[in-house]
Amino acid sequence: MADMHVLHERRTKDLLYEQVARVGKALASPKRLEILELLAQAERAVEAVARGAAIDVKLASAHLKALREAHLVDSRRDGKRVLYRLSGADVAHLGVALRAVAGTHLLELQHALQQLVAGDGVLTGLGRKELLARARRGEVVVLDVRPAEEYAAAHLPHARSLPLPELAQRLAELPRGTEIVAYCRGPFCVMSDEAVRVLRAHGFTASKTSDGVAEWHAAGLALAHG
């Protein structure tokens, strides 16, 4: 009888870990991780997912199917289109935690990130709360260089939207003499690095933060919408 109880506990435990492993299997793809990062910014149709991840629509659909089967992604109909979104904020937080663990323990990732920071996109020395306080007082301009639809879905408080492709033509809208801190989709996003290069080339004092909306929210800080 005791042996039967032990066997039952073993089978139950195996089943529990098997269910958790479904999430691990769904995450075991670089492109799926990138898709989750894209969907953490705003919901998207499969064509937009494919463009953002630089893959064809058929492959994007297959990746989205795998993520849906693991209940990491949901979808809804918008007329003839199907829009995909994360199934919860905790999925975005999982991506942040996964990147943080990898950044702590993988030397290869640390080296790649150091190379990214070694470029012109110098990281700001401001912490999150200090950045928020200075932006609230108008001492710093926080610049969101993501596409406008991502800004509308969620953005850092007091941030201004100026998508990277429009930056060079709209520099006159930015105040001279005020520090500018650019951000995009998180530590792996290079749009903010390019924005800093453009700004500095035109005489602005500019840096970037590696935070995106997912990192900001995972830290327990509020986001703005609209």
What digits encode the pLDDT tens for the residues 30-67? 999 999 999 999 999 999 999 999 999 999 999 999 99
The two structure tokens encoding residue 39: 């969907």
- Give the pLDDT of residue 121: 58
- Give the pLDDT of residue 116: 72
Strand-pair partners of 81:
78
> Given a cut of 90, is residue 21 above it in pLDDT?
yes
Q: Among 116, 195, 109, 112, which residue's Cα sits nearest to residue 159?
A: 195
With a pLDDT cut of 70, the percent of the chain lying above it is 97
Q: What is the mean pLDDT of the chain?
A: 94
The two structure tokens encoding residue 16: 């529990």
CATH of domain 117-218: 3.40.250.10
Give the residue carrying structure tokens 């989750």.
36
Question: For residues 155, 160, 166 and 169, what is the CA-based torsion angle, rounded to 10 degrees?
Answer: -170
- Give the pLDDT of residue 110: 92
CATH of domain 2-87: 1.10.10.10
| Segment 122-131 mean pLDDT | 90
Report the C-alpha gap between 183 and 126 in whole angstroms: 13
- Give the pLDDT of residue 133: 96
State pLDDT tens for residues 78-126.
999 999 999 999 999 999 999 999 999 999 999 988 877 655 558 888 9
Active site residue 184: yes
- Give the pLDDT of residue 212: 97
Q: Which of 91, 180, 181, 184 is catalytic?
A: 184
With a pLDDT cut of 90, the percent of the chain lying above it is 88
At 86, give phi and psi (nearest 5°): -65, 150
Antiparallel, parallel or unpaired: β 81-86 and 73-78:
antiparallel
3-state SS, residue 96: helix
Instruction: List Cβ neighbours of 113 (8 Å cut-off, separation of 6 or more).
Output: 103, 187
- Give the pLDDT of residue 217: 96
Q: Among 139, 141, 110, which residue's Cα sits nearest to residue 209?
A: 141
- Return the higher-pLDDT residue of 117 and 190: 190
DSSP state of 100: H
Strand-pair partners of 155:
224
Q: Where are the domains of the chain?
A: 2-87, 117-218
- Give the pLDDT of residue 5: 73
- Give the pLDDT of residue 52: 97
- Give the pLDDT of residue 124: 87
- Give the pLDDT of residue 167: 98
